[in-house]
Amino acid sequence: MSVKWFFCAFAFAWITASAAGSETIDPARIRTAVERSLKRIETGANNYAVNRTCFSCHHQLSISVFAEAKNRGFAVNRDLFFLQVEFTRETFRQKLGQVERGQGVGGANTTVAYALHVLEAAEQAPDDVTSALVQFLVIKQAKDGSWPAVTDRPPSEGSAFTNAALALRALKTYGASDATLPADLKGKIDESWKRGRDWVLSHEPKTLEDRVFHLEALVAASADRQMIAKHRLALQELQIDDGSWRQLPSLNGDAYATASAMRALVAAGLGTDSPVWQRGAEFLLRTQTEDGAWIVSTRSKPIQLFFDNGDPGGKSQFISMMSTSWATLALLQGLPKQP
């Protein structure tokens, strides 16, 4: 056997194995999983609007899910969608004066940034509510340019990078593009965005939540392509053998960490046909429960009296609801948008 023949045979075997290992997931499997999760999310979102009267990140993320699912050709309950949007707007409309002064919002920056995030997903035009929320972010921005978290309820609350990623995008959508805002306020918004960008570019993430939203923030800040690529690779390399990501090195991988990482990677340029994304999607498909949810154990200390919204997960139902929304959003990336 010649050396040349040996290396040709080796190369052919390697290419064949690589191709087999990178086989893409059947879109029908993704559609089935999304159909199941949509039913679960619809039930949870509807119940929450009955049980509570205020916006929450864990249940109103459903707005983003419904909007994205509709764009991918899924039948979405329009009445429920608009109910969730109005529920979100009404939470803040009741206290616009306070919000404009940077007051009256539990969860502060995180809550406000997520509210603007879902309103953008719903393609809501700028109005008095979005204006007040943007002013809240401008006022509550720290001197160093960050938007600190006021509570530590990991993984979804506690990271200044989460707030920065959502805030930077919101300030562009509902600040720079809002022609109705006074010139002096638009100037403050532009300055706030620049300071937020500078903070993101000069600080390094630590936890997985930090890394995920730091990458999202780099994209929102139009950072240098090489910097985005560097941090995208760093996040990719944290994927573990079963295809998941984990919130902490001491924990197993879970749907919240995995789905949010997948979303950030795609935003930063990773293709959904890549082995990294495909392995993450396979993990999500494998770990979805029969009733359409993804259960993640809570690790945050409660600051409110627990109530049962009827969602899967028992006392972990709120982070599980958010995980189910993120997982659905991640899987939807693997399906084409409808014209």
pLDDT tens digits for range 79-130 = 999 999 999 999 999 999 999 999 999 999 999 999 999 999 999 999 999 9
Contact 271, 255 (CB under 8 A): no
Provide φ and ψ at 335, rounded to 5°.
-115, 145
Answer yes or no: is pLDDT of 2 > 80. Answer: no
At position 259, the amino acid (one-letter code) is A
Query: How does pLDDT run across 149-200, given as a tens digit for each residue?
Result: 999 999 999 999 999 999 999 999 998 778 889 999 999 999 999 999 999 9
Closest by CA position to 192, among listed 146, 255, 226: 146
Q: How confident is the model at residue 21 (pLDDT cuts 50, 70, 90)?
A: very low
What letter would DSSP give residue 330?
H
- pLDDT at residue 17 above 80? no
Q: Across all residues in the chain, what is the average pLDDT?
A: 92
pTM: 0.92
List Cα–Cα distances, 177 to 98, 99, 154, 180, in angstroms: 23, 20, 33, 9
The amino acid that residue 132 corresponds to is A
CATH architecture of 48-333: Alpha/alpha barrel (1.50)
- Core vs surface per residue 166-190: b (16+ CB within 10 A) or e: bbbbbbbbbbeebeebeeeebebbe
Domain residues of the chain, as ranges?
Answer: 48-333
Which strand (E) or helix (H) includes residue 112? helix 108-121
